[in-house]
Structure formats: C-alpha cells, structure tokens
Amino acid sequence: MFNKHSANTKQIKEEALRLGFLFCGISKADFLSEEAQRLENWLKNGLHGEMLYMENNFDMRLDPRRLVEGAKSIISVGINYYNDLNQVDSNAPKISKYAYGKDYHIVLKDKLKKLLNFISENIGAVDGRAFVDSAPVLDKAWAKRSGLGWIGKNSNLINKEKGSFFFLAELIVDLELEYDLTPSNDYCGTCTKCIEACPTEAIVAPYVVDGSRCISYLTIELKNAIPDEYKGKMDNWMFGCDVCQDVCPWNRFSVLHNEPAFKPNELLEMSKQEWEDITVETFNKVFKDSAVKRTKYSGLKRNIAFLR
C-alpha cells in the first residue's frame, strides 16, 4: 500500500544526501519537554556568561511551532567539515577546524534553500524556514530526536559512524512526514577524556558545559577583556577550540570532508609572527566570507595578544 508520508520522506532524505549533507533525520515539531528544565537550570546558574541572547525567546527555543506557523516536521541535517590539515607553524596561534574555509552559515543556508525548493517543486507547496545556528532553535536536541546521534559529555552531538566534526542545521516545515522515532543510545559510557582534557575546565560535570569558561566563548562570544585567570590556560587557541573533539574516541571514525567551500586558504601557511603582525587588510583578505569575521579584527588581535 502506498504511503505518501514515507515516499515524501525518502525523496527528501535522498536529495539531502545528493546536496552534500552527511545525514538527514526527521522529527515531529513538538514541545521539547526534556530540554526545558535543563535549559532553565543552565541559564539560572549563569553558565551562558555574556551570551544574554540565550535568555531571549525561551518558549521559541523549546517549541518550533512558535517559529513557523503550522509547523509539523523538523528536517535535521549535518554536514561534515573534518580535515586532517594543520597549521604549518606549530607555534602559531591556533584556529578551530570549522573556521578553515567559508563561513558555514552561508554554505548551509544555500544548501537548505535548495532542499526547500526541491520539496516545493517535487512534493508540493510548503511553508518553511531554514535555520543555521543563528535563531532560537536547539539544533542538537532536534538532531538527537531525529536519530542522528547522542549529546556527549562535552555537549556536542556525536554520531557513532561519523564522530562529531559536523555542522547541524534544520528546515522547519508545515509538511507531515515520516518521523525517525528511535533516538540514538548514549555511547559515551565511562569515558571522561573530554572532561579531563579541557584546558579551562569548562566541562563542569558530564553533559554540563560552563559556557563562560569555554575557549570558544572566550575567543568569540566574549566582547570584554579575557579574564586574567585564563592566562596560560588557552592552549594557544586564538579562535575556537577543538580539544574536546580531538580527544573523543568516536572521532577516530571521522572522514575527510569533500565540500570545496571548506577548503582552507593561506591561513594555514601563516607563521606566528605573521599572526601577531596581522593588519586589517590581511584580516579582511584571509577571512573574506569566513566565520572568523564574527570576532572582528579587534577581537582576533585581543585573542592573539592574550596568548603572548
């Protein structure tokens, strides 16, 4: 017997893979009851630091139907950004792998728009919106519900076959689909490598990250001066941090990405001295269409100076 929801779901997942997504899972647009208390406690304890935007739109973060009227489905996707390239100068201040290439917001938004157009052209009129880490959407919670992985002790989504070096994004649509009803098991087990390796001890308990201590927060989100208590504890990171992912045993399954937009430019060739002497002109050239622009030239200079 023909099942329309099943057929539509199959088409969407096949197209997502064709567009270059690593995986695609679908869950019912509903209230995230399990996450509500956890988010409230995290905010109450001030673990979001200066990320005051996390306090806004609390209800929207937990219920996607407040973001898209008539929302029925969350189409969660991931895209691989893993590579094994390192900076040539081992003494140069470090930059997270995810920022080697073009800003992932731009890349994912473009692919999601293509996926939404595909749905409209092949399945029928659909009302929906694409979200890439810049709206009140709990990406990891929806990816977990869609069976794409489990949320590890470092608070990253981990996939048993692919590790955790991937970006997450979603389409929220008013289309009823077939849902992935079996969330992944938690395979962290007794492992505490991420907790032990964190240079600033930001993972304050299994599955609980004090955002205000995280190197990614300190080098990107924090607008004021980096507190002196972190002197000598930044592990030479000037933008972001990969430590908790680098030590995660599940990332031995990471495979090299094949997304041209994530290919690094000359930033891997720059020496420690070149970073310390970086000018506005060089910053704008190296980081054109890059996620690093978020911290601005002044922020990157602040970070580099703090590492000296």
Tell me the per-residue pLDDT of 171-190, one tens digit each, with 9 for 90 and over. 999 999 999 978 889 999 99
Is residue 157 within 8 Å of 81, Cβ to Cβ?
no
The closest alpha carbon to 68, from 40, 112, 30, belongs to 30
How many other β-carbons are positioned within 10 Å of the β-carbon of residue 85? 11
What are the angstrom distances between the C-alpha of 57 and each of 25, 52, 137, 220, 288? Answer: 25, 11, 10, 22, 31
pLDDT in tens, 94-145: 999 999 999 999 999 999 999 999 999 999 889 999 999 877 788 999 999 9
Residues 6+ apart with CB under 8 A from 160: 149, 184, 187, 250, 253
Q: How confident is the model at residue 265 (pLDDT cuts 50, 70, 90)?
A: confident
What are the angstrom distances between the C-alpha of 304 and each of 21, 150, 231, 283, 294? Answer: 34, 34, 12, 13, 15
CA distance 294 to 90: 25
| Identity of the residue numbered 102 | K
Exactly one of 89, 110, 133, 174 is catalytic; which is it? 133
CA 45 to chain centre: 23
Model pLDDT, residue 53: 62
**Structure token digits, residue 139:** 């990406």
CA 15 to chain centre: 22
With 80 as the cut, is the pLDDT of residue 61 above it? no
Whose structure tokens read 């997504």? 21
Q: How confident is the model at residue 254 (pLDDT cuts 50, 70, 90)?
A: very high
Model pLDDT, residue 303: 98
Strand partners, 11: none
CA distance 58 to 40: 9
Q: Which domain does 150 fall in, by range? A: 1-308
Is residue 295 within 8 Å of 216, Cβ to Cβ?
no
Residue 163 — left, alpha, or beta (φ > 0 → left; ψ -120 to 50 → alpha)? left
Q: Whole-prediction pTM value? A: 0.91
The overall average pLDDT reported for the chain is: 92
Tell me which of 60-74, 78-92, 147-161, 200-214 is least confident.
60-74
With 90 as the cut, is the pLDDT of residue 46 above it? no
The closest alpha carbon to 127, from 180, 64, 63, belongs to 64
How many domains would you assign to the chain? 1
Residue 105: how many CA atoms within 13 Å on its side-chain side? 9
Q: Mean pLDDT over residues 60-79, rounded? A: 90
With 70 as the cut, is the pLDDT of residue 300 above it? yes
Residues 6+ apart with CB under 8 A from 117: none
**Rounded to the nearest 10 degrees, what angle do helices 104-122 and 4-18 cross at?**
140
Residues 6+ apart with CB under 8 A from 69: 127, 174
Q: Look up 103 and say whether it is catalytic.
A: no
Model pLDDT, residue 63: 86
Whose structure tokens read 């647009």? 29
